[in-house]
A = this chain, B = another copy of it.
């Protein structure tokens, strides 16, 4: 303001010019704008916030960096969020949590809100019903989450996006059934995350829908990373139980590990067994064999989520908002007719 005052007019006039108020004579407005341009005047963000403006910053909180960041898709997520926020004039404060149980980490997240560094937060890899997130919501902060909808959430003031795992599972099972497979196993993911039970449910429903019996021996527990897929298969092979003719994996990384383990046992994909993954990992198209998988349009998903969050911050929406993102079957070389 001080700088603009040197331009001959008063601060309130400048304020009205910046905020596009009515009662300011056109020529004065012109002059002020010219001076602002000339002096390259940029308002101090902290002062603006202190005087009642928003920070125009959203927090991006990624849980479990190690796992998330090793996953290609996170890149797209981050880029998509930043670009969408940017196009609406918002900045992104990026934060990583090693795990959502550590009290110190949680304190760090809450402090970012309490310090008023951000107007709202977007959580990736967190559980919807994480207590500290519940608390933030109840304290009136704007929050968006990639997770499933939970019972009771409809009453709360949050934004939730999730993947339509049921639809994806249905497509996978139907595709395999179309290839005459009747023995379809599942390498399921981490049951503590949304995707785990969600995909398992979808698997059961899809199998039932296609009239294929579920054999529990062919449901192998795993996590969401390559190593767990590798170990799950090795574990299974030790039992001596014969393999099914096809398997669906929790995601592509798990599939990579599983295929590696299978190969080490002399079992080839797709010659001996068909595999379908999830996520369309960047590696999947170049993997040997190129992996048939279910692709999610993460970019579009994050665009919606980011925009919803900003809408909420700007009080353009309120209450509970949710949407699910569909999946698309990408057919490559890892499945073969039975």
Contact = CB atoms under 8 A, between A and B. Distances in A.
Interface of A: 40, 42-47, 49-50, 55, 57, 60, 65, 69-70, 72, 74-76, 78-79, 82-83, 86, 91-96, 108, 111-112, 114-117, 256, 282-283, 286-288
A65 B84 CA distance: 13
A96 B77 CA distance: 13
Contacts of A116: 44-46
Given A40-B114, A82-B96, A83-B65, A74 B72 contact: no
Nearest to A69: B79
B42 A115 contact: yes
Complex copy number for this chain: 2
A289 to B, nearest CB: 11
Nearest to A287: B286
A284 B112 CA distance: 38
A79 B70 CA distance: 9
A108 B89 CA distance: 10
A82 B94 contact: yes
Contact of A79 (B50, B93, B96): B96
Contacts of A50: 44, 46-47, 50
B49 A78 contact: no
Contacts of A45: 46, 115-117
Nearest to A49: B46
Contacts of A96: 79, 82-83, 86
Contacts of A283: 282-283, 286
A60 B72 CA distance: 19
A38 B94 CA distance: 29
Contacts of A286: 256, 283, 286-288
A72 B69 contact: no
A42 B283 CA distance: 44
B82 A95 contact: yes
User: Shortest 10 CB-CB distances between A and B: which pairs?
Assistant: A42-B114, A46-B49, A45-B115, A69-B79, A46-B46, A94-B94, A46-B50, A69-B75, A45-B117, A82-B96
A45 B94 CA distance: 16
A65 B80 CA distance: 10
B115 A43 contact: yes
A55 to B, nearest CB: 8
Most chain B CB neighbours (cut-off 10 Å) among A60, A72, A112: A72
B75 A115 contact: no
A332 B108 CA distance: 42
Nearest to A43: B115
A166 to B, nearest CB: 29
6 contacts: A50-B50, A69-B78, A72-B282, A78-B94, A91-B112, A93-B94
